[in-house]
Amino acid sequence: MFLIPCPFCGQRNEEEFVSGGEARRRPDDPASLDDAAWADHLFNRDNTKGVVREWWWHARGCRLWFMVERDTLNQAISPAEKPP
């Protein structure tokens, strides 16, 4: 059990949130990708042991999305970023 800093509501219990997975960059020019590059973008993950930049959704709160950096070894979380 850990707290997640929602940039809109402050520190709230993990149970109120849904993880959105690691932040990934959309390909700049999707039309130029071949199948392998698409499959890599859609399915593969870094799945880092350590600090990840990731999405969370405050599903049982303000229902907004935001990003944090979290250490997957101990759940230490950085202050949240509002979406751009």
55 binds, among Zn ion, other proteins, none (CB under 5 to 8 A by kind): none
Residue 28 is a binding residue for other proteins (CB under 8 A):
no
- Minimum Å gap between C-beta 48 and other proteins is 8
45: contact with other proteins by CB under 8 A: yes
For residue 40, the minimal CB distance to Zn ion (Å) is 32
- What is the C-alpha separation between 13 and 2, in angstroms, rounded? 6
DSSP 53-82: EEEEE-TTTT--EEEEEEETTT--BPPPB-
Minimum CB separation of residue 84 from other proteins in Å reads 23
Query: Cα(45)–Cα(40) distance, rounded to whole angstroms?
Result: 8
Note the residues at the interface with Zn ion (CB under 5 A): 6, 8-9, 58, 61-62
